[in-house]
C-alpha cells in the first residue's frame, strides 16, 4: 500500500512539474512578468529539478519564480513564501569624500572607542556587498559569495559599502603604515557577500551566509543591513550561529527618531543592535530607536549600544577612502571592539561590552531607546 501511495504521489509531482514547465514557457513569452525570490517548502527532487535552486534549507529551498509559477505551486498544494529583501544601512547621501590620501590615520570613531590595535586570533565575518581584497589597508582572510547558488568563491565589491565597514573593523594601515587603522587591525577579516551592487540583500543569501560563517568557526558576525520585516530564515540562522558560540552584531536602522523604528535583524533579542552617534556624542536624528528603556536588558526590538556613525572615514572599493554616515557605519565599531576585547566566548564578550558601555552613558541617563547601555570604550 505504501509503495502504491509513493507511486501515486510521484505521478502527481510529475504532472505538477509538467504544468509548471508550461508556466515557465508562458512566462518566457511574456517578458514583462518579473521574477521574485521564493522559499518553496518542499524538498522533493522533482521540484528542485524543475527550478534553479538558490539555497537549500531544512524545510525546502529558495528559487527565482514568476508570480504565475508561485501561484501554480500553491494551487498544486506546495506552500511557497516570499523571501524578504534587506538593504545596507548607509544614508542615501552618504558619500562625502573619496580620496586616496586619508585625512587622518585613525578616524574619529576608532579614537572614540580607543581602538586601533588588537584582535589577533579573532575571526570577524562581515556580511555585506563584498570587499576590495586588494585594498592596501585590508588583509582579507576569507572571501566568499552567497548571492549565487550555494557558497561560491569571490567577493568583489561593486558598491563600496562592504569595503567601508570592513575597514572600520580591521584596516591595518597597509604595509607602509601610511593608510588608516580600524578598531581591531589584527583581527582575521572574513567577507561573505550577501548584497548586490545596489545594496539590496536577499534574506536567504544572508541566512545561508550566517550558517556558513558559523560552520567555518567565526567568532563574530557583523551585519550593516536591515529590513522592516523579520525573516524566519535569518531568525533561524541566527539561532543556529548563537548556538555555536557566535556573537552577532547588526545595525539598528536609519528610520528614527520614533521609538520602535528599529530594523531586523538588529531587533532580534539575540543580536547586538547598534545605533549611531556623531563626534560630539549626540544621537543622529535618523538613528532608529528601540521600544523599552531603563532595565539594562536587551530584549526584542531594543538598541543595545550607540557608536560612531556620522561622517565616518574608511576604506573604499576603488582602493581609496570615503566618508559615510549611517548605523551601517556604527555597527563595525562595535564588531571591531568585540574582536579587540574578545573574552573567550560570545556571552562573556557581550557582557563585558555592556559593562563598559554603562561607564560611558549617552543620550539620556541610563538605558535608553536610542543608545541602550551607552558607548563601549576599550580600557
User: Which CATH number goes with the domain that contains 148?
Assistant: 3.40.50.200
Domains of the chain: total: 2
Query: Annotated catalytic, 161?
Result: yes
Considering only the C-alpha atoms of the chain, give the largest distance between any 2 of them, rounded to a whole number of Å. Answer: 76
In a domain, 364, yes or no: no
Angle 2-29/67-75 helices, nearest 10 degrees? 160
> Which of 42, 55, 63, 128 is labelled catalytic?
128
Question: Do residues 102 and 179 touch, judged by C-beta distance below 8 A?
Answer: yes
Distances from the Cα of 67 to the Cα of 35, 70, 80, 82, angstroms: 7, 5, 11, 10
Neighbour tally for 117: CB within 10 Å: 14
Q: Is the peptide bond before 370 cis (omega within 30 degrees of 0)?
A: no
| DSSP secondary structure letters along 217-262 | T-SEEEE-EEBSS--HHHHHHHHHHHHTT-EEEEE--S--SSTT-P
Among residues 161, 164, 333, 363, the one annotated as catalytic is: 161
Question: Residues 216, 319: one domain?
Answer: yes
Q: What is the pLDDT along the chain (379 residues), one digit of tens a residue?
A: 445 444 444 544 554 544 554 444 344 434 467 889 999 999 999 999 989 999 999 999 999 999 999 999 999 899 999 999 999 999 765 554 567 889 999 999 999 999 999 999 999 999 999 999 999 999 999 999 999 999 999 999 999 999 999 999 999 999 999 999 999 999 999 999 999 999 999 999 999 999 999 999 999 999 999 999 999 999 999 999 999 999 999 999 999 999 999 999 999 999 999 999 999 999 999 999 999 888 899 999 999 999 999 999 999 999 999 999 999 999 999 999 999 999 999 999 999 999 999 999 998 888 999 999 999 999 9
Do 128 and 209 sit in the same domain of this protein?
A: yes
Question: Which residue, 83, 106, 138, sits at the end of a domain?
Answer: 83
Does 150 reside within a domain?
Answer: yes
CA–CA dist 297, 299 (Å, integer): 6
Active site residue 360: no
Grid coordinates in use for 359? 561607564
The secondary element (H helix, E strand) that includes residue 166 is helix 161-170
Told to judge if 328 belongs to the known catalytic residues of this protein, a careful annotator would answer yes
Q: Which of 231, 317, 328, 335 is an active site residue?
A: 328
Q: How far is CA 50 from CA 13, 30, 53, 330, in A?
A: 11, 19, 9, 43
Do 105 and 76 fall into the same domain? no
Domain of residue 298 covers: 86-358
Amino acid at each position: 500500500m505504501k509503495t502504491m501511495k509513493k507511486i501515486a504521489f510521484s505521478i502527481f509531482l510529475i504532472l505538477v512539474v509538467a504544468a509548471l514547465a508550461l508556466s515557465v514557457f508562458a512566462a518566457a513569452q511574456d517578458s514583462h512578468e518579473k521574477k521574485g525570490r521564493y522559499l518553496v517548502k518542499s524538498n522533493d527532487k522533482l521540484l528542485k529539478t524543475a527550478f534553479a535552486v538558490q539555497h537549500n534549507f531544512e524545510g525546502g529551498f529558495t528559487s527565482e519564480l514568476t508570480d504565475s509559477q508561485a501561484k501554480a505551486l500553491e494551487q498544486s498544494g506546495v506552500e511557497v513564501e516570499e523571501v524578504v529583501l534587506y538593504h545596507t544601512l548607509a544614508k542615501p547621501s552618504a558619500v562625502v569624500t573619496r580620496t586616496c590620501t586619508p585625512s587622518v590615520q585613525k578616524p574619529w570613531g576608532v579614537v572614540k572607542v580607543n581602538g586601533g590595535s588588537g584582535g589577533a586570533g579573532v575571526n570577524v565575518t562581515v556580511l555585506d556587498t563584498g570587499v576590495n581584497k586588494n585594498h592596501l589597508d585590508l588583509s582579507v582572510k576569507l572571501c566568499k559569495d552567497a548571492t549565487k547558488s550555494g557558497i561560491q568563491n569571490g567577493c568583489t565589491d561593486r558598491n563600496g559599502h562592504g569595503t567601508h565597514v570592513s575597514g572600520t573593523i580591521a584596516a591595518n594601515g597597509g604595509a607602509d603604515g601610511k593608510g588608516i587603522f580600524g578598531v581591531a587591525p589584527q583581527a582575521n577579516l572574513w567577507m561573505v557577500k550577501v548584497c548586490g551592487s545596489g545594496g539590496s540583500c536577499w534574506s536567504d543569501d544572508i541566512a545561508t551566509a550566517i550558517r556558513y560563517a558559523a560552520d567555518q568557526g567565526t567568532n563574530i558576525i557583523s551585519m550593516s543591513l536591515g529590513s522592516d520585516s523579520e525573516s524566519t530564515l535569518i531568525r533561524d540562522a541566527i539561532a543556529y550561529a548563537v548556538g555555536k558560540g557566535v556573537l552577532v552584531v547588526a545595525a539598528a536602522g536609519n528610520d528614527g527618531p520614533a521609538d520602535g523604528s528599529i530594523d531586523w535583524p538588529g531587533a532580534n533579542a539575540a543580536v547586538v543592535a547598534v545605533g549611531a552617534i556623531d563626534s560630539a556624542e549626540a544621537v543622529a536624528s535618523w538613528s532608529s530607536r528601540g521600544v523599552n528603556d531603563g532595565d539594562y536588558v536587551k530584549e526584542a526590538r531594543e538598541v543595545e549600544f550607540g557608536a560612531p556613525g556620522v561622517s565616518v572615514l574608511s576604506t573604499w572599493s576603488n582602493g581609496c577612502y570615503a566618508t559615510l554616515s549611517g548605523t551601517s557605519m556604527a555597527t563595525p565599531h562595535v564588531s571591531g571592539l568585540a574582536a579587540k576585547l574578545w573574552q573567550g566566548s560570545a556571552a562573556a564578550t557581550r557582557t563585558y561590552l555592556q559593562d563598559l558601555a554603562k561607564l560611558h552613558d549617552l543620550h539620556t541617563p541610563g538605558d535608553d531607546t536610542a543608545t541602550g547601555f551607552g558607548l563601549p570604550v576599550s580600557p
